[in-house]
Chain A
Amino acid sequence: MAKFMLGYKAGMTQIFDEAGNAVPVTVIACGPVSVVRKKTLESDGYQAVLVAFDETKESRLNRPDRGQFAASGLAPHRRLLEFRVDDVDAYELGQEIKVSEMFAVGDRVDVAGTSKGKGYQGNVKRHGQRGGREAHGSKYHRRVGSLGSSATPGRVWKGTKLPGQMGNRRVTVQNLTVAFVDGERDILAVKGAVPGSNGTCLEIRDTVKFRV
């Protein structure tokens, strides 16, 4: 069964595993999410559920999103996202899904979100290039190096590493282990770090890397 959940990153801490080792974990305030719409093979050509998370005022939404909630009869939510599923019949319209129904300790998940924005950065920070020496007559410190050859090809190759915007883009961290689940308080904790600052909206899915 395809698993999915939405949540907000709460922050990091550490917990102890059975062996008594300290394990770094990220705490995520998860769900519950509600099924707003089912996409079926007949109607859309693929199977997915549209889920909503984090209730809000209707005035905060744009018209297309308002339409989704009006059609389903659910209260408006801030986050609206689609997840592919194997069997859409397993879900009901308006069904509320809690994190404890989706994930258990030991599951492997992929977590996607928007990474922290670093602004416009040079090659040393953005691509991990080394830069030149700082002294001994060197005038080449943190600049971009050679852009390529001369008359052949007579242009800069596509994909050449150059300065530009770093961060503030979608990042997925794969194969994280679920370390803690609390169904009552809707908390999920995964081992390791996830993208973004605290409060970032995260998508959690079962991993593409690890199949039992």
Chain B
Amino acid sequence: MNVNLIKAVEESQLRDTYPNVEIGDTVRLHLRITEGARERIQVFEGTVIARKGEGLSETLTVRRLSYGVGVERIVPIHSPKLDHIEVVRKGRVRRAKLYYLRGRVGRRARVREKLPPRKTN
């Protein structure tokens, strides 16, 4: 009963369309940035390396290499500051958390692409 009450508080703010994102995907986060009175959209592209939390508190961790420096953004999926998520490329991974990418640069830091299933004739 109590869990339902917490859900009742959260439900009004949940996103209607849950983003179709999986671990290992390369995504573009369209973030709303407010500078003074002006609002603009900033795009952050990287690999989804973790998904944490549940309900309204659920977050994605997106990692990219920027000028040789690893940058990670932790974004609450349901935050109004996140305009939308665009999936650029599906990744083929065998783990739920891709923390092993943190120690890697260059080709070793890549995630293999998940291609649509091959048609058999």
Q: Which residues of A contact B (CB under 8 A)?
A: 8, 10-16, 19-20, 22, 25, 27, 29, 180, 182, 185, 187, 189, 198-199
**Is A14 in contact with B32, judged by CB distance below 8 angstroms?**
no
**Is A10 in contact with B13, judged by CB distance below 8 angstroms?**
no
Within the complex, the shortest CB–CB distance from A36 to chain B, in Å, comes to 25
**Is A20 in contact with B55, judged by CB distance below 8 angstroms?**
no
Complex CA distance for A189 and B56, rounded to whole angstroms: 15
Within the complex, the shortest CB–CB distance from B91 to chain A, in Å, comes to 27
- 25 A-B pairs in the complex with CB atoms less than 8 angstroms apart: A8-B2, A10-B5, A10-B6, A11-B2, A11-B3, A12-B6, A13-B6, A13-B10, A14-B57, A15-B10, A15-B56, A16-B56, A16-B76, A16-B78, A16-B79, A19-B34, A20-B79, A25-B9, A27-B6, A29-B1, A29-B2, A29-B5, A185-B8, A187-B5, A187-B9
Top 3 A-B residue pairs of the complex, sorted by shortest distance between their CB atoms: A10-B2, A20-B81, A20-B80
**How many pairs of residues, A versus B, come closer than 8 Å at their CB atoms?**
55
Contacts A27-B9, A198-B2; is A22 near B76 (CB within 8 Å)?
yes
Complex CA distance for A198 and B32, rounded to whole angstroms: 36
**Is B9 in contact with A189, judged by CB distance below 8 angstroms?**
yes
**Is B8 in contact with A187, judged by CB distance below 8 angstroms?**
yes
**Which listed residue (A13, A16, A29) contacts B80, Cβ 8 A?**
A16
**Is B79 in contact with A13, judged by CB distance below 8 angstroms?**
no
Closest chain A residue to B78, Cβ basis? A16
Apart from A10-B2, A15-B13, 8 more pairs, CB < 8 Å: A11-B3, A12-B6, A15-B9, A16-B76, A16-B80, A27-B9, A182-B8, A187-B8
Size class of the B contact interface (CB-based, 8 Å): 10 to 19
A interface: dominant SS: strand
Complex CA distance for A20 and B32, rounded to whole angstroms: 10
Complex CA distance for A19 and B80, rounded to whole angstroms: 8
Within the complex, the shortest CB–CB distance from A196 to chain B, in Å, comes to 13
Q: Which of B48-105 contact A (CB under 8 A)?
A: 55-57, 76, 78-81
Residues in A with CB closer than 8 Å to B79 are 16, 20, 22
Closest chain B residue to A189, Cβ basis? B9
**Which listed residue (A8, A13, A185) contacts B56, Cβ 8 A?**
A13
Within the complex, the shortest CB–CB distance from A64 to chain B, in Å, comes to 30
Residues in B with CB closer than 8 Å to A22 are 57, 76, 79
**Is A13 in contact with B2, judged by CB distance below 8 angstroms?**
no
Complex CA distance for A189 and B5, rounded to whole angstroms: 10
Residues in A with CB closer than 8 Å to B78 are 16
Complex CA distance for A25 and B32, rounded to whole angstroms: 24
Closest chain B residue to A11, Cβ basis? B6
Residues in B with CB closer than 8 Å to A8 are 2
Complex CA distance for A198 and B3, rounded to whole angstroms: 10
**Is A27 in contact with B5, judged by CB distance below 8 angstroms?**
yes
Residues in A with CB closer than 8 Å to B34 are 19
Residues in A with CB closer than 8 Å to B5 are 10-11, 27, 29, 185, 187
